[in-house]
Structures are given as structure tokens and as C-alpha cells.
């Protein structure tokens, strides 16, 4: 029943915290570390709103037993904007494209988009759709979310050219 000390690289900085046996990464982020961007939705891996990047790849943080990822690198939405608060390309595209309605899915959608665009700077619409296929938007704002991710890809490419 003893808790375990878990060390992670969290948004580029070391983090250390206690976890009771069987605690999910999501619960540790929200309840121990105070990072509230990843949302607690279905707790079954079915909604995607808890998506974070684990060693660079999107995962449902509710399905990751945090004790099993000791030493891993985790990135959440809190680690996306620049230190001075400037939004990155994906965040800006979501904001400018009205790609958020209630906002509950937004953190997961943005993290999936961050991973997609890191590996594929010029995705097709179908590739965007597949990337977000694990993320549910119950406002059904998919069209604007997909448009925002494609827009973010354009913005990132333009920055890279300059």
C-alpha cells in the first residue's frame, strides 16, 4: 500500500511526486502536480481529453500507470506556450479559427496536433482526421478543429521558411 516516489521530466523540467499504487498519470498531473489542462473525461481511453505526450507520442494519460513510466518525458498543454506566455502555432490557430466551443476536448486535441505536426509538417486532411480519431468533441466542432490544425501546419511551415 506504500506510495512510490515517481520522477519525470515534465514540460522540460524535473518533477518528483508521490503516487499511490495504480495511480494514473492523469491523476498525478491533476491531483499531485496541479496541472489541470489534461481533463478527466471517461477514464476509459474513449474520449481523448486527457491526451498528453509521453516521450513525444500522444497517449491517453488516464490509461498510464504512473509508476511504470519512471524517468519518462511528459509534455502537457501547460508546456506548449513559450515561457513568456506567447501561444504557439497550434494554439494560435485554434484561437483565431474559433476551434474551441466548450473547451473540454481542446487540451487533448492540441496535444495530438502538436505530435502530428512535429512528425508531419504538411499533413493531408485525412491524416489530421486519423490523428484526432481518438479525441471526442461533443460540441461536434470537428470541422473547425481540423481546419485549425491544417492552418497551424501552414503557420509552422511559413515560420520555418523565414
Q: Which of 133, 154, 158, 159 binds another protein (CB under 8 A)?
A: 133
Q: Is 5 in the site for another protein (CB under 8 A)?
A: no
Which is nearer to another protein, 7 or 98 (by Cβ)?
Answer: 7
Distance of closest approach, residue 152 Cβ to another protein, in angstroms: 17
Say if residues 152 and 89 touch (Cβ distance below 8 Å).
yes
Provide the edge-to-edge strand list for the sheet that holds 57-60.
Answer: 13-19, 4-10, 73-75, 51-54, 57-60
- Measured from the CB atom, the residue of 54 and 152 that comes closer to another protein is 54
In the complex with another protein, which residue's Cβ is closer, 70 or 96? 70
- Taking the C-alpha atoms of residue 94 and residue 145, their distance in angstroms, rounded to an integer, is 7
CA distances from residue 86 to 7, 15, 38, 90, 150 in whole angstroms, order as listed: 28, 23, 20, 12, 20
Number of residues in contact with another protein, rule: CB under 8 A?
A: 29
Stretch 112-131: interaction string toward another protein, x if CB under 8 A: x----------------xxx
Query: Using CB under 8 A, which of the segments 21-29, 84-92, 99-107, 151-159 binds another protein?
Result: 21-29
Nearer residue to another protein within complex by CB, 57 or 157: 57
User: Which triple of cell numbers denotes residue 156?
Assistant: 509552422
Query: What is the end-to-end Cα distance of the chain in Å, rounded?
Result: 55
Amino acid at each position: 500500500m506504500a506510495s512510490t516516489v515517481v520522477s519525470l521530466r515534465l514540460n522540460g523540467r524535473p518533477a518528483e511526486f508521490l503516487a499511490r499504487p495504480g495511480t494514473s498519470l492523469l491523476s498525478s498531473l491533476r491531483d499531485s502536480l496541479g496541472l489541470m489542462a489534461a481533463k478527466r473525461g471517461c477514464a476509459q481511453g474513449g474520449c481523448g481529453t486527457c491526451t498528453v505526450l509521453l516521450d513525444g507520442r500522444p497517449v491517453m494519460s488516464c490509461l498510464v500507470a504512473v509508476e511504470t513510466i519512471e524517468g519518462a518525458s511528459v509534455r502537457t498543454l501547460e508546456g506548449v506556450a513559450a515561457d513568456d506566455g506567447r501561444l504557439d502555432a497550434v494554439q494560435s490557430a485554434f484561437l483565431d479559427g474559433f476551434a474551441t466551443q466548450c473547451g473540454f476536448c481542446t487540451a487533448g486535441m492540441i496535444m495530438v496536433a502538436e505530435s502530428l505536426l512535429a512528425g508531419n509538417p504538411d499533413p493531408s486532411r485525412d491524416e489530421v482526421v486519423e490523428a484526432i480519431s481518438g479525441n471526442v468533441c461533443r460540441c461536434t466542432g470537428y470541422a473547425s478543429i481540423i481546419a485549425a490544425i491544417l492552418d497551424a501546419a501552414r503557420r509552422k511551415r511559413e515560420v520555418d521558411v523565414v
